[in-house]
């Protein structure tokens, strides 16, 4: 906490906002990417940017970003499965096939 106070919370938040803006702007330049959440007004965002590539499996992407690029990623449904299925337009009758699935087949 002493270091955080020394650096200053405002400076930390300002830096985080710059990183979020740079990440979102970069992702939006890629045709096959969907960025979730408000991409214009990022003032209330924290250092998390949620996105999907339409033609790249999220399991493979997360492994590549973590192991090949040193980028911290979190691949999954964030304990919001029903909301996620709705965002992706996955019909209720198709959801059952993904229950207890943790491998590359899981859309995430």
Which range of residues forms the domain containing residue 66?
A: 2-98
For residue 81, is it left (φ>0), alpha (ψ between -120 and 50) or beta? alpha
Q: Look at residue 100 in the predicted model and tell me its pLDDT.
A: 64
Tell me if 50 is assigned to some domain. Answer: yes
Q: Counting beta carbons within 10 angstroms of the beta carbon of residue 2, is it exposed (0 to 12), middle (13 to 18) or buried (19 or more)?
A: exposed
If one counts every other C-beta atom within 10 angstroms of the C-beta of residue 45, the result is: 16
Query: Structural domain tally of the chain?
Result: 1
The domain that holds 84 is classified in CATH as: 3.90.1150.10
Q: What is the per-residue pLDDT across 60-103, written as a single tens digit (0 to 9) for each?
A: 888 888 888 888 887 766 667 777 778 778 888 877 777 666 66
CA quadruple 29, 106, 73, 45: dihedral, nearest 10: 60
Instruction: Determine if the pTM surpasses 0.85.
Output: no
CB neighbourhood size of 102 (10 A) = 11
User: Exposed, middle or buried: residue 90 (CB in 10 Å: 0-12, 13-18, 19+)?
Assistant: middle
Interval 39-55: pLDDT, tens = 999 999 888 888 888 88
Q: Which H or E run includes 53? A: strand 51-53
Residue 108 within any structural domain of the chain: no
Percentages of the chain per state (helix, strand, coil), in multiples of 5: 50, 5, 45
């Amino acid at each position: 906490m002493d270091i955080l106070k020394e650096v200053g919370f405002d400076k930390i938040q300002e830096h985080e906002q710059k990183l979020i803006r740079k990440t979102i702007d970069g992702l939006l330049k890629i045709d096959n990417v969907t960025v979730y959440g408000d991409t214009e007004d990022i003032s209330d965002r924290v250092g998390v940017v949620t996105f999907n590539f339409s033609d790249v499996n999220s399991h493979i992407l997360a492994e590549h970003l973590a192991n090949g690029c040193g980028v911290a990623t979190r691949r999954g449904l964030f304990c919001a499965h029903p909301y996620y299925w709705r965002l992706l337009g996955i019909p209720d009758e198709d959801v059952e096939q993904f229950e207890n699935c943790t491998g590359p087949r899981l859309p995430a």
